[in-house]
Amino acid sequence: MSTEKSQIFEWIKAFVFAILLAFIIRTYLFAPILVDGVSMMPTLHDRNRMIVNKLSYKIGEPKRFDVIVFNATVDKDYIKRIIGLPGDHVEYKNDKLYINGKAYDEPYLDKLKKDIIDPPLTQDFKLEDIIGKKTIPKGYLFVMGDNRRYSKDSRSIGVISMESVVGKANIVYWPLNEVRIEKYRQNN
C-alpha cells in the first residue's frame, strides 16, 4: 500500500511542478496571442496565432520595425509595428516614411501600395500634429499597423509607454500553412 501512495504522491508532485513551470513560462517568458482584426495585414492576418516573447525587451532594446504587443486598455492588447523610438521625429509625406528627416523603405507595405486603387495608403502627418511635441518622449514608442487605413495606432491613441509593452511578437504558429518567424531588417 505504501508503494501505491508513494507513486500517487510522485504523480501529484510532477503535476504541480508542471503547472508551476507552465505558469512561470507564460507569465515571464512567452505567451500565446490571437491576432484580432486586419490592422496588421498583409503581414499578419485575422485569427493568426502568435508567440509573444516577453523576455525580449527585459534583456534588450526595442528596434524600429519590430512587431510588438502592448496593453492598449485594461482588457485589450494591440499588435503593431514600432515606427518611432524615443527622440525620433516621425513624418509621412507623399506615402513615404521620414524619421529624423531620413526616408525609410517599408517593404512590408509594398503589396498594399501596389494593390490600392486610390492612394495614398498612409495620409501625410507630422509627429507634432499628433502629440504636440517634435520628438517622441523618453520611455515611449510610436507604433502603426501595416494596414494603415484600418489601424487604430499612435496616430489616434498617441505614443505608447514602454511599460505597456508585453513583448515582441514575431513567431506565427497557426494556421500551419503560415508558420514563420517574422523578421524585418532595415537597410537604409
- In the predicted structure, residue 124 carries a pLDDT above the cut 80: yes
Active site residue 56: no
Catalytic residue among 39, 56, 151, 154: 39
Nearest to residue 81, comparing CAs of 72, 91, 69?
A: 69
Catalytic residue among 56, 80, 151, 154: 80
Parse the chain into domains and list their residue ranges: 31-181
Half-sphere exposure of residue 118: CA atoms within 13 angstroms, side-chain side: 1
Which whole number is the average pLDDT over 113-118? 89
Sorting pLDDT into bands at 50, 70 and 90, what band is 188? Answer: very low
Which whole number is the average pLDDT over 11-24? 82
- In the predicted structure, residue 74 carries a pLDDT above the cut 90: no
What does the alpha-carbon distance between residue 49 and residue 174 come to, in Å, rounded to a whole number? 5
Instruction: Tell me the per-residue pLDDT of 76-104, one tens digit each, with 9 for 90 and over.
Output: 899 999 999 999 999 999 999 999 999 99
Q: Quick check: 89 and 137 in contact, CB under 8 A?
A: no
- In the predicted structure, residue 1 carries a pLDDT above the cut 60: no
SS3 track for the chain: CHHHHHHHHHHHHHHHHHHHHHHHHHHHHEEEEECCCCCCCCCCCCCCEEEEECCHHHHCCCCCCCEEEEEEECCEEEEEEEEECCCCCEEEECCEEEECCEEECCHHHHHHHHHCCCCCCCCCEEHHHHHCCCCCCCCEEEEECCCHHHCCCHHHHCCEEHHHEEEEEEEEEECHHHCEECCCCCCC
Q: Quick check: 92 and 98 in contact, CB under 8 A?
A: yes
- Rg of the chain on CA atoms, in Å: 20
Active site residue 2: no
CATH top class, domain 31-181: mainly beta
Mean pLDDT of the chain: 89
- Comparing 40-54, 82-96, 172-186, the range with the smallest average pLDDT is 172-186
